[in-house]
Structure 1
Amino acid sequence: MITQIRATSPRPFLKWVGGKNQLIQQYLPHFPESYRRYYEPFVGGGAIFFRLQPQQSFLADINIELVNVYRCVREQVEELITLLENHQALHGQEHFYAVRSQPTTSDDWFLEGNNLERAARLIYLNKTCFNGLYRENSKGQFNVPIGSYQKPTICDSDLLRVASSALQSAQIERSSFDAVLDHAKGSEDFVYFDPPYYPISSTSKFTNYSRYSFSEADQIRLKEVFVELSDRGVKVMLSNSDCPFIRELFNGFNIHTINANRNINCNTEKRGKITEVLVTSY
């Protein structure tokens, strides 16, 4: 039997730029009524996954640190909680910068399995850095400064356990977004794309959240993947900036306008209401 969308879900355990928690109510009318398998190739904070709680899911991201976190939460949540409790006890400016400076340039460890210390490091930095940003330089080094939180919640053990339970049936892989073409084949598949948004101004060019940039050519390739999936009968949904480039790129599909808030501009006067688009193939 095809899985019906559930009404309740756990919450994301990470802060993530562009996270969809605040937009889900606007998204609800646009989800497909039914599907069997769910795919999210830019998992980020996972707000949509946690809301839908699909019984069969494929979660992916190009960010090796993020994929490792999801695997550790799924498979070793109690050990991860212990490490985070230690970070909670030690937290301060000196500890933050000592943790941030730990070398992360080699990806060889990922081939050997999960890395709990690196997962705890990412969650700790995510909960204590400025605005919860995830940003790497070209060498893969995390470079966001410490935030001004007085008592950040670094270890929310209950939330992590609920997330772990939700992730038990999920396949979690490190891959590029176009790898979804190897998996999603037909009408019982639902793919949600939440890529780095196309920049609409010189101050919104936040496409390099990791060492892997996301260019205009990548946006065009993403559209090609969207079209190919749609031609197979796959139900496809995509979020992106509300701008002429994206609207023209997806001309011919259903384009819905979503009201959102811009909260990451360093100039507080430039934060506020904006619109985004939600594109659907169905």
Structure 2
Amino acid sequence: MLLETFGNRLKTIRENIGISQLKLSELTGVMRDQISRIENGQINPTLETVYKLSTALETPLSDLFDFSIDDNIVFKQYKIKPFVKWAGGKTQLLDKIKELMPKEYGTYYEPFLGGGAVFLNLTPNKAVVADYNSELASAYSSFKNSNDYQTMITELIKHEANHNEDYYYKVREMDRDENYSKLPNPIKAARLIYLNKACFNGLYRVNSKGYFNVPSGKKEVVKAYQPELFDDLHEYLRSPNITILSGDFEKAVESAKKGDFVYFDPPYDTFDEQNNFTTYTKDSFGKEEQIRLSNVFKELDKKGVYLMLSNHNTDFITELYKGFNIEIVHARRAINSKGSGRGNVEEVIITNY
């Protein structure tokens, strides 16, 4: 009865203000089919969905129910974490990063997304995120489209069931095939996630030809598909207000305007050119790229964009960002191509506010 009452009220309010199911879907990020089933009393919406519908319709929560409800109720936020292990992940520095962030901002930008620890913890209502690694960006995009998401899950379950040493290397060698680039994104996304969970030390590394070349982690069982986490990721990322891009960082932030917030977490400047790991793609991120990034940072600063950047505490980096706020923090790095590159390191968090 409650479901039917809520659905009827939702439909009545929507029709009275002249919004179609399709338009409501675009405003909320809730699938049109799901809205239809809610209105027909067939499914129970989550509190998060109820809040989205109420906000989009500019309707008090109490108008959607046949009993009194506090319109100031605080809804449970998404509890999402990275779905892949990635070099330079920021999970351990989240509290410090959030402490230093601006209290209010417009659109959130993160052009070096990686594992997405900061982005996925914040779950901003509007965001533009990107990564130069096209396969990683495709993996995020596969959570956005419902059909792609289901295909990816099917592939992941298959990988889990077939996992052994020989199978790992068979999947690893897929990118050597000349037709690999033509495979659907969710197939490549499932491959990336499976390899990330099954490989040695969770290290993403490619050779000069762009081929993934990390050896097996020799695990008997690999858990690549995490239903609850993945469903939450799908629900959040499919919002039309979340834009996922693949490509250069400068292109990803070109639409940032005054009041927006950009978090830069690039491949780090190195203490030791040989021992530290920065090969996220076949194209390295060296000194010239660090200089180009600092120039983009300074141009955005002139536009009034809130900016934050993480990097190693090197003389080169502190000189590039002289005049901005620089705070030294300590982190422990667990992913590196060599064991000597893992351990406690000094990093900096640089802001312009």
TM-score (norm 2): 0.73
C-alpha change, 1:246 and 1:269, in structure 2 (3 Å) is closer
C-alpha change, 1:232 and 1:250, in structure 2 (3 Å) is same
Which of 103, 114, 120 aligns to 1:33? It is: 103
Q: Is the 8 A contact 1:64 1:174 kept in 2?
A: yes
The one-letter code of the counterpart of 1:71 is S
Q: Is the 8 A contact 1:50 1:166 kept in 2?
A: no
| Number of residue pairs aligned between Structure 1 and Structure 2 | 274
The one-letter code of the counterpart of 1:239 is S
Q: Is the 8 A contact 1:238 1:279 kept in 2?
A: yes
C-alpha change, 1:162 and 1:100, in structure 2 (3 Å) is same
**Residue 162 of structure 2 corresponds to residue 90 of structure 1:** yes
Distance in 1 of aligned mates of 2:252 and 2:132 = 12
Deviation at residue 268 of structure 1 after TM alignment: 4.7
Deviation at residue 211 of structure 1 after TM alignment: 1.2
Which of 210, 223, 243 aligns to 1:153? It is: 223
Q: Is the 8 A contact 1:77 1:160 kept in 2?
A: no
Which has a greater percent of helix?
A: 2
| 1:71 corresponds to | 141
Q: Is the 8 A contact 2:135 2:189 kept in 1?
A: yes
Distance in 2 of aligned mates of 1:157 and 1:164 = 10
The one-letter code of the counterpart of 2:318 is R
**Residue 232 of structure 2 corresponds to residue 162 of structure 1:** yes
Equivalences for residues 50-129 of structure 1 within 5 A: 50-75=120-145, 76-103=148-175, 109=182, 115-129=185-199
C-alpha change, 1:107 and 1:277, in structure 2 (3 Å) is farther
C-alpha change, 1:214 and 1:268, in structure 2 (3 Å) is closer
Distance in 2 of aligned mates of 1:269 and 1:68 = 32
Q: Is the 8 A contact 2:275 2:341 kept in 1?
A: no
Structure 1 residues 83-105: Cα deviation after superposition (integer angstroms, max 9, x where no partner)? 10110011110000000001356
The one-letter code of the counterpart of 2:283 is Y
Structure 1 residues 111-139: Cα deviation after superposition (integer angstroms, max 9, x where no partner)? xxx52211110000011111111111121
Structure having the higher Rg: 2
SS at the partner of 1:102?
A: helix
Q: Is the 8 A contact 1:254 1:281 kept in 2?
A: yes
C-alpha change, 1:32 and 1:200, in structure 2 (3 Å) is same
Structure 1 residues 205-251: Cα deviation after superposition (integer angstroms, max 9, x where no partner)? 32222112111000000000000001100001111011111111111
Q: Is the 8 A contact 2:142 2:186 kept in 1?
A: yes
Deviation at residue 181 of structure 1 after TM alignment: 4.2
Distance in 2 of aligned mates of 1:166 and 1:281 = 29
C-alpha change, 1:222 and 1:66, in structure 2 (3 Å) is same
Deviation at residue 265 of structure 1 after TM alignment: 4.3
Give unmatched runs, 5+ long, in structure 2. 1-75
Q: Does 157-166 or 196-205 show the bigger shift?
A: 196-205
Q: Does 177-186 or 12-21 show the bigger shift?
A: 177-186
Structure 1 residues 140-165: Cα deviation after superposition (integer angstroms, max 9, x where no partner)? 11011111434332111211111112
Distance in 2 of aligned mates of 1:267 and 1:182 = 36
| 1:45 corresponds to | 115
Distance in 2 of aligned mates of 1:131 and 1:172 = 27
Q: Does 226-235 or 98-107 show the bigger shift?
A: 98-107
Structure 1 residues 164-187: Cα deviation after superposition (integer angstroms, max 9, x where no partner)? 122123111112011134210212
SS at the partner of 1:261?
A: strand
C-alpha change, 1:82 and 1:8, in structure 2 (3 Å) is closer
Equivalences for residues 1-282 of structure 1 within 5 A: 9-75=79-145, 76-103=148-175, 109=182, 115-169=185-239, 170-187=242-259, 189-265=260-336, 268=339, 271-282=342-353
Distance in 1 of aligned mates of 2:257 and 2:200 = 41
Distance in 1 of aligned mates of 2:194 and 2:140 = 14
SS at the partner of 2:271?
A: coil
Q: Is the 8 A contact 1:16 1:44 kept in 2?
A: yes
RMSD: 2.1
The one-letter code of the counterpart of 1:101 is E
Percent of matched pairs sharing the same residue: 43
Distance in 2 of aligned mates of 1:7 and 1:158 = 14
Distance in 1 of aligned mates of 2:232 and 2:219 = 25
C-alpha change, 1:243 and 1:7, in structure 2 (3 Å) is farther
